A and B are shown apart, each in its own frame.
Chain A
Amino acid sequence: MGVLSNLRICDFTGQLAGAGATRTLAAFGAQVIRIEDPVTEGRWDILRGMEPFVDERRGGEFGGGFQNHNVEKLAITLNLRTERGRELLAEIVARSDVVAENFAAGVLARLGFPYERLREIRPDVIYVSNCGFGHRGPYSAFKTWGPIVQACSGLTFTSGLPDLPPAGWGYSYMDHHGANFMAFAILAALVHRNRTGEGQWVDMSCTDAGAAMLGPVVLDYTVNGRPARRPGRPDSNHDEWGSMAPHNVYAALGDDEWVAIACRDDADWERLAAVVDEDWVRDPRYATLAGRLAAQADLDDRLGAWCAARDKFAVQAALIGAGVPGVAVQRPGERIEDDPGTTDFGLWPWVEHELMGRLRVDGLPYHLAETDWSIERATSLLGGDNDLVYGDLLGLSAAEIDDLRAEGVI
C-alpha cells in the first residue's frame, strides 16, 4: 500500500516522456493501467523492442528501456478500433482519477476520446496530454522526439564549446523532464481536485518546459539585450556568468578520462592551490576572481597539465578532501557500481521480469521518511493484467473476457 494507492490512472503513455511520469506515481502505489493496442502488440511504444537487451532474445517483451520505464504498472490490451473496445475504455475512464497520454496532439480525440468526452464520462477527470509543442499554437501538429524538443527550446544550443557545433545533450534530456514536469502537474492537479472537486486538462508542451529551464539566459537577452548567440558562445564548461574560475573539464591520466573542477570563490582557489602546490599557483594574478578570469586560458593550461598526470579519482579524493568541488567525470559503470552516492542511497532497485529475469532499474532520487517509494514489480507481459482489470475492476466474467479475446477487442 503506497501513499497514492487510492489513485487510479488510465495510462496511454509510452516512450520516456510519458511513461516516466506514470512510473513515478506507480512507485508510490498508484494503480497505473497501461493500455496498449493488441493489433500492433503495443509497438506504438518503440522502446518495447529496442536495445538494450539482456541476452540474444529480441521482440516486444525484451526492450530494456521499456522495462525500465514501466515498472509497477499494470499492462492491458484494448482495441479502440472496435465499438466494444471504446465502451470498455469509457468504463475504465469512469473509474480513473487521471487519464494520461503522450500521443501526438489530437490522436486520443481521433480515437473518440477528446477532453469533452472524457469529462462527460468522469466529470472531475484530470486529463494530461503531453507532446512536443502542446495542443495549442501553430506547431501543435509538428512531430518531435527528445532531441528535437531540446533543439527547439534552446537547450541544444546552450550545450557546447566555442567554435564547434552544438554538442547537445547526448540523450533525451527533455524526455526525462517532460515526464518529471508531467508527474508534478498531475500531483498539483490532484491537490487542486482534492480541495475543489474540480478536474482539468493539463496541456503539457515539452518545448515550453525546456524553454522554462533557461530563465536567466532569457533575461540576459530581454533585459540586457545580450543574445546567447554571439561569438565565443556557447562556452558551457566555463561558468556562463563569470562567477567562478577555474571552472572546466580537464583531461586526467588515461584514455578518455576527465575531471571537472570549479572554484566557487577565492577561498576555494586557495585550497586548490594548496593541493596543487606548484610554483605557478602562487602567481599573484590568480589570487582574485577577476585575475583568474582574465588569465583563464593560462589557468586552464596549467591546471590541465596538473590533472593530466593524475588519476581522476585521485584528483577527486585530493580536492574533495580539501573542500574544493573537483570530481571525476564518471562512466556509467563507475557511478552505478562503485559510488556510495548512488549505492548507499538505494538508487538501483531490482525487479523480477517474467521472461528477462532479474533486472536493475532506475530508482527515484529521494526518500520519504514515512511513505517512501517502492519499485519491486516488473511490468507484466503484453495484456498480462487483462484478467485483473477486466475481471476484478470492471466485473466481467471469465467467459466474457474470453469472448473479448476471441473477438480481438483485447
Chain B
Amino acid sequence: MATTGPHGSPEPPPAPAADALGPLTGLRVVELAHEATEFAGRMLADFGAEVILVEPPGGARQRTYGPFVDDVPDPERSLWFWHYNTNKFGVVLDLDVAADRETFAGLAATADVVLEGETPGRLAALGIDEPDLRAANPGLVWTSVTPFGRTNPRALEPMTDLTLLANAGPVWSCGYDDHTIPPVRGGGNQGFQTAGIHAATATLVAVLHRDATGRGQHVDVSMHAANNVTTEFATYGWLVAGETVQRQTCRHAAARPTQFTMSTDKDGRFCPTGVPPRAAKEFRTLIDWIDDRGWRDDFPAIAFLELGEERGGVNFADIATDPLVGEIFGAGRDALIFIASRLTSYEFFLEGQTRGLALPVIYSPEEVVEDPHFRARGFAVEQHHPGIDRTVTYAGAPVTMDASPWRWQRHAPTLGEHQHLVDGPARPQSS
C-alpha cells in the first residue's frame, strides 16, 4: 500500500535526473512567428524540441504586444513575447525576398516540423508552401494553425482572441446572472492558447506516424473548431438534448438555473462556497468546523446541520418536495457562507480542504506563484535576464514528467539572436 508524505500526501514520483533531457529532444521545429502558433511552439520547445523562430525584419508583431518591462514599449521588452517564445531560438528572414525564401526552404529541408499561422494562400503565392517543400523532405510534418482551417469557407476572416471566443462558444457561457450585463471573455489569451494545445497535440500524432513510417503530412488546425469543442455542456447539451445553456455568475452555465454560491470573506474578497453538503459526514464536518472555531452561538441554524447528520444526509431529489430537507440543505449552504465570511479566503480553502471539503480559493495569478503548494512543486522558475540584468520569475511547467522533464533552457530570443543557424553552411540533417 502507498506510503504517505508529511502532509498525508501520496508517495510522489521520483525526481528527474539533473541532466535529463525533454521527451522531444532532437526534434527540429521551424516556426514562422505568429500569434496563432506561439503557444504550440512554446509547448514543443518546453519539452525539448529545438524550435527555430523565424521572424520578419523588424521582428514579429507580437513584440509590439504589452505588457512591457517597466512599461517601456520596445521589441526587446515585450513580456508577452518573452513568455510565448521562451526556450526558442530566433532568426530573421524576409520571406518577401527570394534569397531568404531559399534559406527558409533550406531550413525546412532540415526540419522535422514546420509550424505556421500564415493567412491561407500567402505561402503558396510565395512558392514556399507545404507542397512546394515536400519533395525535399518527405518526412516533414507541416502544421498550419489558422482561424478556420485552410480550406474552410470562412478561412480568410480576421480574428482576435476576443472575437474567437465570442464566435466559437465560450463567451456565451461566461458572465453574470443579470443578462443585461454583457457576457464575458475570460482573460489571458485563452482562445489562442486553446488552439495551440490542440496544434501541439496533433503535431505529435503526426511525428509518431513519421517516426514509424518516414512519411510526413499536413496538419490543418482550426482555431474556431478548437474553441467550439472546449465548451463542455454548452456543446453536448445541444448535441444530445437540444438544450441551450444560460450564463450564471461564477458557476456553470446551465439549461436550468442553479443556486448562487458566492460569499465574501472577512476581507471582502469573493469566495465561492461550492456545492453544499448532502452526506451525513459532511454535515458533521461543518458542525465540527463551527464548534472548533467557537462560533456555535453565532450560527443558530446549526441545529439543522445536526438534523442532517442524524437523518444520514439528505437526498437532492427530496429538496423540492420535503420542506425539512430544504431547510437542512439550505443550512448547509448558509453554514459555508457564514464560515467564509469569518475567515480569509485562503483560510477557508485550507481549513475546508484539510477537513475534506472540496472548496476553492480565488487566486489572482500572482498569488498562485507565491502559494506554498506551487512553491513546493517548483512551479515558478527564476532566471537571470541579461537584457535587463534582473532575475525574472516565470510561470513554469504545465505537466511534470519524471524521466524527460519540462526544462527552462533559454530566454526568448532577441531579434536575430541565433542568425548563425541560417547564415552559416547548412547543417546536415540530424537522424
Contacts and interface: CB of A to CB of B under 8 A. Distances in A.
A138 B371 CA distance: 10
B207 A169 contact: no
Interface in B387-409: 388, 390, 392-404
B401 A366 contact: no
A175 to B, nearest CB: 7
A362 B163 contact: no
B166 A327 contact: yes
A136 B65 CA distance: 35
Interface string A127-158: 00000011111111111111110011111111
B84 A203 contact: no
A227 B208 contact: no
Contacts of B172: 329-332
Nearest to A359: B240
B186 A325 contact: no
Contact of A369 (B173, B220, B245): B220
Given A222-B394, A241-B66, A169 B9 contact: no
A286 B357 CA distance: 52
Given A135-B13, A201-B14, A325-B159, A16 B182 contact: no
A168 B174 contact: yes
Contacts of A200: 401-404
A33 interface: no
A4 B174 CA distance: 36
Interface centre among A156, A219, A359 (most CB of B within 10 A): A219
B234 A191 contact: no
A177 B395 contact: no
Nearest to A130: B399
B274 interface: yes
A223 B83 CA distance: 12
B301 interface: no
B423 to A, nearest CB: 30
A4 B204 CA distance: 11
Nearest to B252: A171
Nearest to B79: A219
A170 interface: yes
B157 interface: yes
Contacts of B299: none
B390 A148 contact: no
B182 A250 contact: yes
Interface in B200-247: 200-202, 204-209, 211-212, 215, 217-245, 247
Interface stretch (A75-83, A106-114, A273-281, A386-394): A106-114
B361 A141 contact: no
Contact of B374 (A68, A156, A211): A211
A167 B240 CA distance: 26
A407 interface: no
Interface stretch (B89-97, B102-110, B187-195, B330-338): B187-195
Contacts of B270: 165-166
A367 B208 contact: no
A198 interface: yes
Contacts of B401: 185, 188-189, 192, 200-203
B252 A172 contact: yes
Contacts of B324: none
A191 B24 contact: yes
Interface stretch (B120-128, B147-155, B283-291): B147-155
A251 B178 CA distance: 13
A324 interface: yes
Contacts of A67: 240
A167 B186 CA distance: 8
Interface in B356-370: 356-369
Contact of B365 (A65, A154, A209, A264): A154
B393 A218 contact: yes
A397 interface: no
Contacts of B400: 134, 136, 202-205, 208
B75 interface: no
A170 B247 contact: yes
Given A157-B365, A362-B235, A194 B208 contact: yes
Contacts of A363: 225, 229
Contact of A187 (B10, B64, B204, B364): B204
A177 B24 contact: no
Nearest to A158: B187
B206 to A, nearest CB: 6
Interface in A349-383: 359-371
11 contacts: A151-B362, A154-B365, A155-B188, A170-B248, A181-B399, A188-B24, A191-B204, A219-B82, A236-B185, A332-B237, A332-B244
User: Which 10 interchain pairs have the tightest Cβ spacing?
Assistant: A106-B10, A241-B66, A260-B166, A170-B173, A64-B240, A200-B403, A109-B2, A192-B23, A365-B225, A151-B360
Given A187-B205, A198-B404, 20 more contacts: A51-B237, A105-B10, A110-B2, A140-B7, A140-B12, A141-B8, A155-B186, A156-B360, A167-B174, A171-B232, A188-B47, A192-B24, A200-B404, A214-B365, A223-B388, A227-B366, A264-B158, A325-B163, A361-B236, A365-B228
